[in-house]
Amino acid sequence: MEIIKEQPMFSIVTVTYNCCNSIRETIESVLNQTYRNYEYLIIDVQSSDGTLNVIKEYNDPLISYTSEKDTGIYDAMNKGILKASGRWLLFLNSGDIFTDNQVLEKVEIHAKNGTYDILYGDIFVNKKKIWEIKKAAEPCNKQRMFFCHQSSFTRTEIMKSQLFDSSYSMSADLLFFKQCYYKGLKFYHIPIPIVKYDSNGISNTNRIAGLKENIDIIKAVDKFPFKYLFLARLQFVIFRIQLSNVLKTLF
């Protein structure tokens, strides 16, 4: 008799490249979850710093990993999407950790509801060595993400039908969720912190470039009057950052 394996509720995907100093904490944060109906996919981009050695230490049947070249982070994320077999998909960056061991247990209550397409929660951010909660907004359309991508769970079937546009290097997730919003998909804000967020990612360390990608996406997707409101906000933020950088060189 053929044994039919139960479909996992969650697919958790971590993309890694030379993350040996941060990947262990992320892996253990996943493996320590009390809810066990998930798969953990690690997509490594041929790390050369010992990241793979750390990953291989965890001989857990819930973990699978690959290590191969890609054309950018969203290409690697798309590989994770195509490999995922769970009903819901979460991206957890190396360095990000779940806020506690019951996160998946808390989210599962909403995931099995059948009403929603995208679930998202709040995050903790580290400010001056103090973890502070950053609350997500209620479902809306903005010039930026109104929640942290690493705190969001999306139905895997939706992601498989609409992969990230890898021509963007920083803001393809904004494009994806804007498209979902305009399609009328149902977002739900779970008012609990999902992750402790590592703010050293590329979109945070190269913010102006990320904002310029946001501008390109808004020009392509949004309509009057929101398009011009969002563009004005982004141009102001860029001006403020540039002014701040100039002032730092003068004083």
**Tokens 């990947």, residue located:** 23
In the chain, DSSP assigns E strands to 10-16, 38-44, 63-67, 88-91, 97-98, 118-127, 130-134, 152-155, 187-197
Alpha helices in 144-225 (DSSP H): 156-161, 172-182, 202-205, 207-221
| CA neighbours closer than 13 Å in the CB half-sphere of residue 223 | 2
- In the structure encoding, which two tokens stand for residue 85, read together? 């077999």
d(CA 122, CA 148) in angstroms, rounded, equals 7
Here the tokens at position 128 are 């001056």
Q: How many residues are there in the chain? A: 251
The reported pLDDT for the residue numbered 130 is 83
Please state whether the peptide bond connecting residue 139 to the residue before it is cis, i.e. omega within 30 degrees of 0: no
Q: Give the pLDDT score at 2.
A: 42
| N-to-C CA span, the chain | 75
Backbone φ, ψ for residue 25 (5° rounding):
-60, -40
Q: 223-245: buried (b, 16+ CB within 10 Å) or exposed (e) per residue?
A: eeeeeeebbebbeebbeeeeeee
Within 10 angstroms of residue 1's Cβ, the number of other Cβ atoms is 3
- Please list the pLDDT of the chain residue by residue as tens digits (251 residues): 344 467 899 999 999 999 999 999 999 999 999 999 999 999 998 888 889 999 999 989 999 999 988 889 999 999 999 999 999 999 999 999 999 999 999 999 999 988 999 999 999 998 777 889 999 999 999 999 999 999 999 999 999 999 999 999 999 999 999 999 999 999 999 999 999 987 655 444 588 999 999 999 999 999 999 999 999 999 999 999 999 888 888 87
Q: Could you tell me which of 101, 93, 81 has the C-alpha nearest to residue 164?
A: 81
Query: How many whole angstroms separate alpha carbon 136 and alpha carbon 177?
Result: 14
Is-above-0.85 flag for pTM?
Answer: yes
Q: Please name every residue paired with 52 in a beta bridge, in sequence order, or none if there are none.
A: none
Minimal CA–CA distance to 39: which of 9, 81, 68? Answer: 9
Distance (Å, rounded) from C-alpha 178 to C-alpha 188? 15
Q: Is the peptide bond before 225 cis (omega within 30 degrees of 0)?
A: yes
Q: What is the structure's pLDDT at 3?
A: 42
